[in-house]
Amino acid sequence: MVADGGQPLERARALAREALGAWRSGDPDRGIDACDHALSLLLQVGPSDSLADVLRWKGSILRDRGNHSAAADLYAQSLAVADKIAYSSGRAHALNCLGTISQFRGDLTAAERWYGEAARMAHRLGDRRLAGMVQQNLGVVADVQGRADEAVAHFRLALAAFEMEEQPDAALWVLNNLGLLYTREGAYARATDVLDRALELANLTNDVASEAFVEENRAALFIALGKLEQAEAAATRAYGIAEQRRDNTRRAAALRLLGKITRCRDRTSPHAIDLFERALTLSDLGEDVLLRAQVLCDLGDAHRDAGEFGRAKEFWRRALALARATGFKGVIVGLQTRLRSGLADAGSGSPEVFTQ
């Protein structure tokens, strides 16, 4: 379809803005449709900044729904277009996006390499928002590798960049991940503060996608505090958003939390195992290796408490193999403890990576 007045680029840009709004506000199908319409117009014109951007944005919508392979292909196409027309900002954003795919797949070395190049380009371009995105994502990598102090340093740099640019939509990303880290470290007052602020910003900016992450991390915090009714309410809200967005990865994360809440109430509950099994099936549809390792660990815990020690060790060994292959040091330590003693429990929560 050609835009009225023979101006496909202007129409494509309007569609791209619609796609971005739909992506974060909870209607990814409309976002994908808008991207596809924009791409049909942009491809008539040839390589352009807008083509590189829309390819990347469609990739991020698909990535957020767990379709990482299709997202990676679109990111690679976006990078190729940006390189062809010397679109430096588009190249830097594409590199950051490719880093998120490597991170989800558990290749943290590749993720840091992509992020490092994106960070250097962002600095040269003076793009504070992109620089903040990359610092945020480097913080997530440091966190899952067990380098909490380094993660906090990255998160603080990201937050400073976003606050300097007065970008509350981006600041909530950092607050969300700080909440997860503080919960894991037992700093519950700090976790409560930053997650409350993140939820307020998600509602203010109508960012439904990030709201789901915040609710997941609030549920993990409430579990740690023993507030199971509040934990269940937050996890249920997270699951509802994931259902609305047809996001299998986030559905899996929410089911995992509901399984942990069920175990808190009755450690031998067969319903908890059912929830974890459903979470594992859904996580297998995506490529979030950390989440899969966490669910396998939880299944081991649930079978241990049911007296099925052979099954427990089987799940723990599968989780440990994934964690070792990817360098998730915090998960590795907990699993090694389990296999030695069969007594310890794993942490909760999933980090959020960010692109545009």
Question: With bands split at pLDDT 50, 70 and 90, how would you rate the model's confidence at 163?
Answer: confident
The whole-number pLDDT of residue 343 equals 53
Share of the chain above pLDDT 90, in %: 64
CA 35 from chain centre, in angstroms, equals 21
pLDDT at 342 over 70: no
Question: With bands split at pLDDT 50, 70 and 90, how would you rate the model's confidence at 5?
Answer: very low
Closest C-alpha among 266, 342, 263, 328 to residue 300: 342
Q: Please name each of the domains of the chain with its CATH number.
A: 207-356 (1.25.40.10)
Give tens-digit pLDDT for 306-341. Answer: 999 999 999 999 999 988 888 787 788 888 888 887
Q: State the virtual CA torsion across 150, 98, 169, 50 in degrees, nearest 10.
A: 150
Round to whole Å and give the CA distance between 209 and 211.
5
Question: With bands split at pLDDT 50, 70 and 90, how would you rate the model's confidence at 123?
Answer: very high
Q: Is 204 exposed, middle or buried (0-12, 13-18, 19+ CB in 10 A)?
A: exposed
Mean pLDDT (the chain) is 89
Residue that wins the pLDDT comparison between 286 and 249: 249
| Exposure letters 87-114 (e unless 16+ CB within 10 A, then b) | bebbbbbbbbbbbbbbbbbbbbeebbeb
- Work out the number of other CB atoms within 10 angstroms of the CB of residue 32: 18
